Amino acid sequence: MSKLFGTDGIRGIANIELTTSLALKVGKSCAKVLKDENKKLHILIGCDTRISSSMLVSAIASGLAANGCDVTNVGVVPTPCVSYLVKNSIFDAGIMVSASHNSFEFNGIKIFDKNGLKLPDLIEEEIEKETYKDETPLIKYEEIGIIKDDFTLKDKYISYLINTGNKIDNLKVVFDLANGSSSVTAPEIFNKVLKNPVFLSSKPNGININDNCGSTHLDNLINYVKKNKFDLGIAFDGDADRCLFVDEDGNIIDGDYILAIVALNLKKKNKLKNNTLVGTILSNLGLIKFCNENNINFSATKVGDRYVLEEMLLKDDVNKLIELGMEDFQEVSNIKDNKIYLTVDNKNIIIELNKDNKIINVYNKSNNHLYYSQDEDKDLYYYKDDSLKKAHNKSEDIIKPDESAVGKSKTLLEGSWTVGSNIEEGIYNLHALSGNGNLYIKTDKNRLKVNILMGVGNQYNTKNNVYLKDYNNVTLEKGDIITIGKDMKIKFNAIK
């Protein structure tokens, strides 16, 4: 059985890999898995401008209705519009039919929960299992759902965006709309907040989405900005959930630059939440260095916007637990086996206590993220999964970088290691013995100090980073946490 869901939903070539029969099954499976015994679900569905989108919308909607869900089709909209409308309207879930930046022959399915967030892995797995069954049992005919269109709902999203900012009259801006979803929303938004904006690639015909345009093909936008002396160019992708900028000289301002600009601006205004910028393991090392130089915490997640958002939300959950304390939570639903189940902002949080009723774990079960506390003062340290938490307490020989230890070394495998427990403070040279991947060094307060891409063999460049066989002069301080990537083996050589 092939895996149906990837990092960004379901995706494939329309009518070959992503067929109407598969879309129908996905609709039926969603209805069954998301079913609420106490109410009839109302699902919102939107799409981008691909020629196959309306076909797949019809199939998914039919599957949902066949298993008892009412469905409202909002038509062509950006992916964030579906997320926003689900969270701020009457809908119980949302579905977006799009293949993002891919060419027109591809299409995809993204599913959002009632909070406008992409579904957790566990729920996607349930939908996948149900989809691959021979047949999902259908409901009685009197319980079939109703399908309707409401293309005016996007106006609520447009009004929200217009009201988030101020009118700007002194900036010349050109937009590349990728012949995609933003073609139906961007002109209405930016004609109200900018003076005489220009829109390129804004006439979708079903097969020209992302065709030599949009955020993956910037040449036309760069040339237009330079030739017509614009201050800024902005290019969206097919479903308008991401963008890239071009400055007045035609230089590309990519996602890492945009994050740095926004984070620093928010920090100066004292509005950068948790003083943290969240990126992925593929974020440019320059961004991490920028954060360190500007005293901004950096947190890296797996690749995928869902994991970035989950990281941001879960940090808020834990901070709230720390700030308010256990006694301030009123929505405790169950206490069993030294675990307290409670609700924080509509999210299920599980707190695990030791025999003395001290917090030892805090995690969000559906999102499968774990926090671990090695102290009793609720000072929480973040780990990706339970195996890393267990590795934290492994008893290992200690390297001491004193005169007698210089030239000596120790090899650590994948896992998490603590300076002061598994390895002493000091300066080290790191040497990759096997594997290619990331090695993180964080402070005991979860601030990322170093993100090194280690690779066996000679140093070589990639598009965004430099892989190193050897990394010199790494300073380790007590409490630092070293996390070594999967299948890697790193030798620590004491220098002084």
Catalytic residue numbers read: 100
The CA distances from residue 461 to 300, 458, 464, 468, in Å, are 21, 10, 8, 9
Residue 22 identity (one-letter amino acid) = L
Taking the C-alpha atoms of residue 368 and residue 122, their distance in angstroms, rounded to an integer, is: 9
E-only strand ranges, 36-105: 42-47, 70-76, 93-97
Q: Strand 276-280 to strand 347-353: parallel, antiparallel, or no bridges (unpaired)?
A: unpaired
Torsion sign (Cα): 25, 28, 31, 34: negative
Taking the C-alpha atoms of residue 447 and residue 360, their distance in angstroms, rounded to an integer, is: 20
Binning the chain into helix, strand and coil, the percentages to the nearest 5 are: 30, 30, 40
Q: How many residues does the chain have?
A: 496
Q: What are phi and psi of 342, to 5 degrees?
A: -145, 175
Closest CA to 273 of 329, 305, 311: 311
Which letter does DSSP use for residue 373 in this model? -
- What tokens were used for 393? 């307490």
Taking the C-alpha atoms of residue 65 and residue 143, their distance in angstroms, rounded to an integer, is: 9
Say if residues 90 and 53 touch (Cβ distance below 8 Å). no
Taking the C-alpha atoms of residue 125 and residue 121, their distance in angstroms, rounded to an integer, is: 6
* 3-state secondary structure (DSSP) of residue 370: strand
| Helix or strand holding residue 319 (H, E) | helix 305-324
- What tokens were used for 363? 């995690």
Say which residues have a Cβ less than 8 Å from residue 164's Cβ, sequence separation at least 6.
none
Q: Strand 381-383 to strand 369-372: parallel, antiparallel, or no bridges (unpaired)?
A: antiparallel
Taking the C-alpha atoms of residue 333 and residue 351, their distance in angstroms, rounded to an integer, is: 12
